[in-house]
Structure 1
Amino acid sequence: MPNDPHRPNPTAAPTHAPDEDNDDEMIGTLLSRRHALRLLGLGTGAAALGAGGVLAQRGAGNASSAPVSASSGLPGCVVRPAMTEGPYFVESEPRRSDIRRDTTTGKLSAGVPLTLNFEVSRVAVGGCTPRGQVLIDVWHCDAQGVYSDVQGNSGDFLRGSQVTDAQGRAKFTTIYPGWYRGRAVHIHFKLRPLDASGKATGEFTSQLFFPESVNSAVFARAPYNAHGTKADTPNAQDGIYRNGGSQLLLNVKGDPTKGYAATFDIGLNIG
């Protein structure tokens, strides 16, 4: 078997040292709950955010937020943290909905099917409105922890981008991500609003995480169980997840036999 820099080796040092993956720091400024609510125009009398509520900023006036359940008493959206891009982002990923197949070889990535729906909105006082023309990039490793097009790996499997429609929606068909040493199971994503000429006018980058119960169900199956039946690093032990990952935890529906689906709503006020 080729020596893959993304494939964990129990006899070797971790292949993704913190300085290599660069996934151990939060990007942006974390604001108090009261300040975040004030920025949303809710005032101090509104219901408090959930534990760890933050506003992530990558520069003056740049913010991102996302909704919680209606029972919280908030309008449509509350704030979410930005997270580091890491070293494996590749610019100009193919524009496509189904990212499972490598366009250079035609090979389909093996794994449990996952449908990932994004719903992007613009935050406004009292709620959110759908936001079209937002470029969404998604990238993650395969069932064996391998990323395409980096570290000597070729291809473009499990990479893709789409522009949201008038309803702010975009759907990706992929597989449940695998793991590599030192990180919880996660998916990277980047949002970039586009102007009329197609030029990006801002950028927000973060990561999505999965419930441990679902991770366990998936990793008990082939091809994931080639590394054992548990993910290498639980969410609670992942340095990124501990910095706000609970707000980026997907509500996953389905089972490991037929596959899973999840919808991630996010308000975007940059650009």
Structure 2
Amino acid sequence: MNNRLIGKLVIVVAAIGALMLFSPFAIVPAGHRGVLTTFGKPSENVYGEGIHFRWPLAQKMNLVGVAIEKGEGEGDAASKDLQTVKTKVVINYHVRPDAVVAVFRDLGNQPGERIIVPAVHEAVKAVTARYTAEELISKRAVVRDDIVNALRERMARHGLVIDEFSIVSFNFSKTFDEAIEAKTTAEQLKMKAERDLQRIEVEAQQKIARAKAEAESLSLQRQQVTPELLRLRETENQAKAIEKWDGHLPTTMTGGAVPFINVGGGGK
């Protein structure tokens, strides 16, 4: 029984293999294009998604991906001021559908390894050498665009298209990082000193303005005090003193003066 079961399984597997080997149809799935080879020679036609006829044994449908692929990597380069820079990048790309035959034939259906990786390394090194380490940080978007422009022409020759390119990070030596940190701290202290100086100048100007206002006020008051005003104030004070007098003369004078003599009675 076991031998019969094993024999049946072998027959089924052989039948499936024969069906696949001698099947006259080939399927191109979504996100791919097909390159049909006849005894190894690729056809110039590009086969779209779906089912296609082929001659069994003589022809084979080879699949080339045209969906967006992601590649990432990092490498060392030297900046314009000879600083060592480790750059990490990410690239999204795809194969142009009309170029799948060339990619299959010329690149062995391996565009990532044969074109993308070396092209990205070369472009990053070439562009990094144009900028100083500080410029790589301050002009990051410009550096990215320069790298993309350097890559685009080379990739286009091989039927590859850049969809996105990003610089994930720039990493420098510890000495350079410390120098940048010290410079940043110095600039922050300088800005603080400038703000303090501006504040002191404003406060001094405010004090000068207040003193000037007070001086002008006093000057105006002095200009308004005339002899006529003084006599008027004196008359007003005398009038107020008369209003407060009760009609009795003082019997003594301050400062040790002689008392008034009573002239109203019959003195001896």
The structure with the largest helix share of the pair is 2
Query: So what's the TM-score if we normalise by structure 2?
Result: 0.22
| TM-score normalized with structure 1 length | 0.22
Higher Cα radius of gyration: 2
